Amino acid sequence: MLRTVIVIVIAAHGIGHVLFLVPQLGIADWGQSTRSWLFTGDTPARLIGSILWIVAIIAFCAAAYGLWSQQPWWRNIAIIGAVISALGLLIFAASPVTSPAFFAMAFNIAVLAALLVLHWPTVETLGV
């Protein structure tokens, strides 16, 4: 049961990055920042931002699949997803910070803390 809940939460977080990808692609304006303090010009920021958000979506969804199918690599992919997502959030940070950006960063920090510091969830906890 716990594994199913974690899978759903990880996948939902990954899919939630669409909130950042869609404005970055110029499809809709949902209030998320598409400007970067690091990249000058609209085209480089759009390209790099789009790549970051797509990689984060794929990484979190792959991690969810890996956990569901009991693959040992799911943790590494979740860590990569959290780092890429955090990097994107920092590069495209807006002032004031939007709720989706704040909660996405909080989730990324929770993933990194759980997997790298607490070494949770354990194999026993997941029933694997």
Q: Give the domain ranges of the chain.
A: 2-126
Is residue 128 very low, low, confident or very high in pLDDT (cuts 50, 70, 90)?
low
CB-based contact 49:27 (threshold 8 Å): no
Whether the pLDDT of residue 97 is over 80: the answer is no
**Residue pLDDT, tens place only, 35-80:** 888 887 778 888 999 999 999 999 999 999 999 999 999 999 999 9
Is residue 120 very low, low, confident or very high in pLDDT (cuts 50, 70, 90)?
confident
∠ CA 27-28-29 to the nearest 5 degrees? 140
Q: Which residues contact 110 (CB under 8 A, 6 or more apart)?
A: none
Whether the pLDDT of residue 99 is over 70: the answer is yes
Q: What is the pTM of this model?
A: 0.89
> CA-to-CA distance for 98 and 104, rounded, in angstroms?
10
What CA–CA distances, in Å, run from 82 to 42, 66, 77, 127? Answer: 25, 15, 9, 24
